[in-house]
Amino acid sequence: MQRICLFPGTFDPVTKGHVDVIQRAASLFDKLIIGVGINASKQPMFTVEQRCQWIHDIFRNDPRIEATGYTGLTIDFCKKVGAQYILRGIRYVSDFEYEKAIADMNRMLAPEIETLFLTCSPEFSTISSTLVRDVIRNGGNVKLFVPEEVKF
C-alpha cells in the first residue's frame, strides 16, 4: 500500500520554511500532496493557480511531490486523494497548541488518518507567509525568505 501524505496550507506565498519541511518529509512517504487550501475567510495575495505553479516549479524534479488546490475540510480531501497522513509544520510551541487542536478534531472525524508534526529547521523558524506578504506590500526584498522560483 502506497504511503500518501497531505501537507495542507495556504502557501501564500510558499517560503523557504515550507520548502524545508517538504524536502525533509518527501523521503518519508511514497507520495506527498501539497494541498493549497482555499479558505473563504482569508483573502490571499496570490491565486491558487500561482501557488500551485510555484510548488510545481520548485519540485519539478521530484515525481513524489504534487500540488493541488482544494476547498472544504482537510480530512475530506485526504479521503478523496487517499492520504493516510496529514503533515503539519511547526515553528514554535504556540504553533503546536493550535495544530494539536486541529489534529484532535481530525482524529475524531477520521481516526484512520494520522497527523504528523515536523519542526522546521532553525534557520527558517522566523519566516512566515504573513510576514513575507507584509514585506511585499511595503516594497521590500523577500529573496532571503522565498525560493528563487517564487517571482511576482
Is 56 assigned a catalytic role?
no
Q: How far is CA 55 from the centre of its chain?
A: 10
- The 10s digit of each residue's pLDDT in 90-125 is 988 888 999 999 999 999 999 999 999 999 999 999
Identity of the residue numbered 128: S
Domain 4-137 class in CATH:
alpha beta
Is 129 assigned a catalytic role?
yes
Q: Which of these is catalytic: 42, 60, 80, 151?
A: 42
Is 91 assigned a catalytic role?
yes
Per-residue CA distances from 31 to 41, 105, 128 (Å): 29, 24, 25
For residue 84, what pLDDT band results from cuts at 50, 70 and 90?
A: very high
Are 3 and 114 spatial neighbours (Cβ–Cβ below 8 Å)? no
Q: Which of these is catalytic: 64, 79, 91, 133?
A: 91
Q: Is the pLDDT of residue 136 over 80?
A: yes
With cell 501537507, the residue in question is 7
Give the domain ranges of the chain: 4-137
pTM: 0.95
- Which DSSP symbol is given to 24? H
- The 10s digit of each residue's pLDDT in 13-69 is 999 999 999 999 999 999 999 999 987 777 899 999 999 999 999 999 999 999 999
